[in-house]
Chains A and B, each alone.
Chain A
């Protein structure tokens, strides 16, 4: 690229040098050559192409900017220094349009744009509201500008409000796109018409306002002219200026008069024009009224009001002018009269005092006494004359007054009629306007009320919905709660049932177990008892056996151990066994404390007893000397008998012999029948008895003990047998 540029530059430089050096000025040929040179080389081609495109772009931009000022403005905004370029190429940018003409146009596009925005973004009321806000905001200042003289600022607000309100319903109440688009379209159409109307109204208003102003100004000028004229007149009549100034005054007065006439003419013209314009305005208003656009109503109303006020002002001014005129007329009449009188007086004075030319008011000190006297006389005469005239006048006063009154009445009536008519008209208009205004206000109020009511309704609806929803929620909640409760109850009952079942089964099991346990316990107890019994029986048996065994402990000639230990044991072991206790306590004391002799010892001892008993067989109560003892010894030695004789079943009296008894006893003892032996020994008498007493006691003891023990044993055996369970 650089090389291309360098080549191109080099080529251009060469050709230029060639042109400059070769020729005086670069000719077309030279240039063509340059172009050819350029065209020949590729670099030249590229450069040419680029230049062409750039130039083409610039040119097209400039042309388009010339055609479209907005585009020009955009470019000027975006590209720096482009505004200078444009100025250079196209001249200054076109000025913005006249505000009066521009702003209605502005309102239109703004409103339309807002509408289009509304149609596009129907779901963004906020944006819409925002965008609709600048439209009314811009509209009021525009309208304000136009209605400077009018006190119709509230109209602008109304317009703004109308447009705003007009947008709001489209936003709030129907958010559906279709409906809003339709409404927007309707709004647009209305807005267009309204805009046109407003434009027309405003135009006519403006023009009529202008003309009215002019007329009013003219009238006021007339007023001022009249005022000045009358003042001047008054001054001219009343002032005591020197004659030269008087002439100037009269000149001034004439000027004033001419001014006045001119002003009056102008005022007439202006008035006519104004009236014409007002008529036009009225026509426009009527047409606007016929168009029946709600939005235009306040404007129409405002225009009407303006019209009315303008008419009123005009009329006022006209009446003012008329009054001023009448006053001026009066003034002029008065001035004429005064002039007449003055002239007359002057004449008289001149007649009387020809040298005095001053008026009769401001007399200087130049006058002489005669003059004064003549003057005084004249004055007196004048006074008399005037008095006579006065009297005459007084006489004719009544008639004059009546006539004047009549005239005045007529005039007054006419004036009154006129004034009343005009006032009535004005009033009517006022009332109508007021009525319309009130109607408008009422309508607005109604609209607002309706809106509020609708809003209230909507709010009520929402409230109702809310309430219904709440109620529904409540109901549903309750339902759900109920269902939940029922389910919970179910679950609870189920659970309870299950638990109860469990409990029941458990209780059953427990009961069964308990019963079994109890059974077992009872069984065990009974077992225990049985075992206890068995043990006791066993113990008893053991103790009895021990007792029995202790019997065996009897050695030869020595008693057994004292049985009380064993018996104590028995008693201990069988504390609750009454039988055993009885039996145990039935044992003789001797056996307990001393023990008993065994059978063997008793047997052995028996033989001693036998011998002794044999020796003392003869001794008894009667025979108990020593000689008897000797004899009984002798008997015992000499008597030979069988040692053992079997005892008979029944004892006869002859068997009660000592020796026989002893034989029986021996026989029994030898057979182990201690009891029988004891029985036999018991039959001994006398000394034998005494001798055998101890043995007998012992035998008895032994026998008793043995009997008891055998009983105990039998009992123990029986008990033991009883306690042992048969398998």
Chain B
């Protein structure tokens, strides 16, 4: 179902963003708590990181169809095929 692909992607993207957001938030909070004496900027930073990563992932995911993917085949396999 190709039409579901987009949706799945979007779901995935959202989930990922949520996770990234959460994780970022969490890490931010943690960092902020741990390392940065409960400042908000790690939280925001982490959240931003998270969101940014999610956005990037989402974009890559959505774009993956149009991007060429290289498949790395080890040398031995090729030689064996030839031999």
Residues of A within 8 A of B (CB): 605, 608-609, 612, 616, 619-621, 624-626, 629, 687, 690-695
Q: Does B18 contact A (CB under 8 A)?
A: no
Residues on B with beta carbons closer than 8 Å to the beta carbon of A690 = 2, 5, 65
Q: Is the CB of B3 within 8 A of A624?
A: no
Does the CB pair A692–B63 fall under 8 Å? no
Tell me if B62 counts as interface (CB < 8 A to partner A).
yes
Q: Which of A612, A621, A629 contacts B3 (CB 8 A)?
A: A612
- Report the bound CA distance from A629 to B7 in whole Å: 13
Q: B66 near A: Cβ within 8 Å?
A: yes
A625 touches B59 (CB 8 A): yes
Task: Enumerate chain A residues within 8 angstroms of B63, measured Cβ to Cβ.
Answer: 624-625
With a CB–CB cut-off of 8 A, which chain A residues contact B79?
A: none
Say yes or no: A626-B58 contact (C-beta < 8 A), given A690-B2, A690-B5, A694-B3: yes
Contacts of B59 in A (CB 8 A): 625-626
Q: Are A693 and B2 in contact (CB under 8 A)?
A: yes
Determine how close the nearest CB of chain A comes to the CB of B2; give it in whole angstroms.
Answer: 4
Q: Which of A624, A692, A695 contacts B66 (CB 8 A)?
A: A624
Our pick among A616, A625, A695 for the contact of B6 (Cβ within 8 Å) is A616
Residue of B nearest to A628 (CB): B62
Q: Which residues of A contact B2 (CB under 8 A)?
A: 690-695
A-contacting residues, B1-30, CB 8 Å:
1-3, 5-7
The distance in angstroms between the C-alpha atoms of A608 and B6, with both chains bound, is 12
Instruction: Name 24 interchain pairs, CB-CB below 8 A, sorted by A.
Output: A605-B3, A608-B3, A609-B3, A612-B3, A612-B6, A612-B7, A616-B6, A619-B62, A620-B66, A621-B66, A624-B62, A624-B63, A624-B65, A625-B59, A626-B55, A626-B58, A626-B59, A687-B6, A690-B65, A691-B2, A691-B6, A692-B3, A694-B3, A695-B3
Report chain A residues within 8 Å CB of B6: 612, 616, 687, 691
Interface hub of B1, B5, B59 (most chain A Cβ within 10 A): B1
A608 to B62, CA, bound (A): 19
> Interface on B for A, CB 8 Å cutoff?
1-3, 5-7, 55, 58-59, 62-63, 65-66
Across-interface contacts of A619 in B (CB, < 8 A): 62
For residue A609, which residues in chain B have a CB less than 8 angstroms away from its CB? 3
8 additional A-B residue pairs with CB within 8 Å, beyond A608-B3, A624-B65, A691-B2: A612-B3, A612-B6, A616-B6, A619-B62, A624-B63, A626-B62, A690-B65, A691-B6
Complex Cα distance, B3 from A693, in Å, reads: 8
Question: Which 7 residue pairs spanning A and B have beta carbons closest together?
Answer: A694-B2, A693-B2, A626-B59, A624-B63, A621-B66, A694-B1, A691-B3
> In the complex, how many angstroms separate the beta carbon of B17 from the nearest chain A beta carbon?
11
Whole-angstrom distance between the Cβ of A583 and the nearest chain B Cβ: 29
CB distance from B68 to the nearest CB of A (A): 11
Q: Which residues of B contact A605 (CB under 8 A)?
A: 3
Report the bound CA distance from A616 to B66 in whole Å. Answer: 14
* Residue from A625, A626, A695 whose CB has the most chain B CB atoms within 10 Å: A626
- A621 to B63 Cα, complex, angstroms: 8
- In this complex, the member of B7, B55, B62 whose beta carbon has the largest number of chain A beta carbons within 10 angstroms is B62
A625–B58 Cα distance when bound, in Å, is: 9
A625 / chain B contacts, CB cutoff of 8 Å: 59, 62-63
Q: How far is the CA of A546 from the CA of B75 in the complex (A)?
A: 54
Report Cα–Cα, A263/B21, bound state, in Å.
226
Within the complex, the shortest CB–CB distance from A636 to chain B, in Å, comes to 13
**Chain B residues, Cβ within 8 Å of A693:** 2
Closest Cβ of chain B: how far from A558's Cβ, in Å?
Answer: 13
When C-beta atoms are compared, the residue in chain A nearest to B2 turns out to be A694
Q: Could you tell me the distance between the alpha carbons of A626 and B64 in the complex, rounded to whole angstroms? A: 12
CB distance from B55 to the nearest CB of A (A): 6
Most-contacted residue by chain A among B2, B6, B7, B59 (CB, 10 A): B2
**Bound CA span A687–B6, Å:** 9
Q: A107 to B63, alpha carbons, bound, how many Å?
A: 184
Using CB atoms, name the residue of chain A closest to B64: A624
Which residue of B is nearest A608, CB measured?
B3
Residues of A within 8 A of B58 (CB): 626
Question: How close is A113's CB to chain B, nearest CB, in angstroms?
Answer: 160
Q: A626–B6 Cα gap in the complex (Å)?
A: 12
Q: How far is the CB of B81 from chain A (nearest CB, A)?
A: 29
Taking the closest CB of chain A, its distance from the CB of B58, in whole angstroms, is: 6
Select from chain B the residue with minimum beta-carbon distance to A621: B66
Chain B residue, CB-CB nearest to A694 = B2
Q: What is the CA–CA distance of A616 and B5 in the complex, to the nearest angstrom?
A: 12
Nearest chain A CB to B25 CB, angstrom units: 21
| Contact yes or no, B1 A629, CB < 8 A | no
Q: Which residues of B contact A616 (CB under 8 A)?
A: 6
> A624 to chain B: which residues have CB within 8 Å?
62-63, 65-66
Minimum CB–CB distance for A700 against chain B, Å: 13
Q: How many angstroms from the CA of A625 to the CA of B57 in the assembled complex?
A: 11
Q: Which residue from chain B places its CB closest to the CB of A686 in the assembled complex?
A: B66
A629 — nearest CB in chain B belongs to which residue?
B62
Residue of B1, B3, B7, B59 with most chain A CB atoms under a 10 A cut-off: B3
Q: How far is the CA of A120 from the CA of B76 in the complex (A)?
A: 160
A695 to B1, CA, bound (A): 7
A605 CA / B1 CA spacing, docked (Å): 10
In the complex, residue of chain B having the shortest beta-carbon distance to the beta carbon of A695: B3
What is the minimal beta-carbon distance from A535 to any residue of chain B, in angstroms? 42
Measured in the bound complex, the distance between the Cα atoms of B62 and A620 in whole Å is 11
Least CB distance from B69 to A in Å reads: 15
Chain A, residue nearest B61 (CB): A626
B67 CB to nearest chain A CB (Å): 9
- State A620–B3 Cα separation when bound (angstroms): 15
**Smallest CB gap from B63: residue in A:** A624
B1 cross-chain contacts in A, Cβ below 8 A:
694
Residues of A within 8 A of B65 (CB): 624, 690
- Measured CB to CB, the nearest residue on chain B to A627 is B59
Contacts of A612 in B (CB 8 A): 3, 6-7
A190: shortest Cβ distance to chain B, in Å?
161
CB neighbours of B55 from chain A (8 A): 626
The minimal Cβ–Cβ distance linking B49 to chain A, given in whole angstroms, is 17
A693 to B59, CA, bound (A): 21
Q: How far is the CB of B1 from chain A (nearest CB, A)?
A: 5
Q: How far apart sit A716 and B40, CA to CA, in the bound complex (Å)?
A: 78
- In the complex, what distance in Å separates the CA atom of A616 from the CA atom of B2? 13
* Bound-complex Cα distance A626 to B62 (A): 8
A693 to B63, CA, bound (A): 17
Looking at the assembled complex, report how far the CB atom of A256 sits from the nearest CB atom of chain B, in whole angstroms.
Answer: 192
Query: In the docked arrangement, what's the CA distance between A619 and B7, Å?
Result: 15
Q: Which residues of B contact A629 (CB under 8 A)?
A: 62
**Which chain B residues border A695 with CB–CB below 8 Å?**
2-3
Distance in angstroms between the alpha carbons of A620 and B66 in the assembled complex: 8
- Give min CB distance, A631 to chain B, whole Å: 13
Q: With the chains together, A691 CA to B7 CA distance in Å?
A: 10
Bound-complex Cα distance A608 to B2 (A): 11
CB distance from A598 to the nearest CB of B (A): 16
Nearest A residue (CB) for B4: A694
In the bound complex, what is the Cα–Cα distance between A621 and B5 (angstroms)?
17
Complexed CA–CA distance, A605 and B63 (Å): 24
Query: In whole Å, how far is A634's beta carbon from the nearest beta carbon of chain B?
Result: 16
Residues of the B chain whose Cβ atoms lie less than 8 Å from the Cβ of A691:
2-3, 5-6
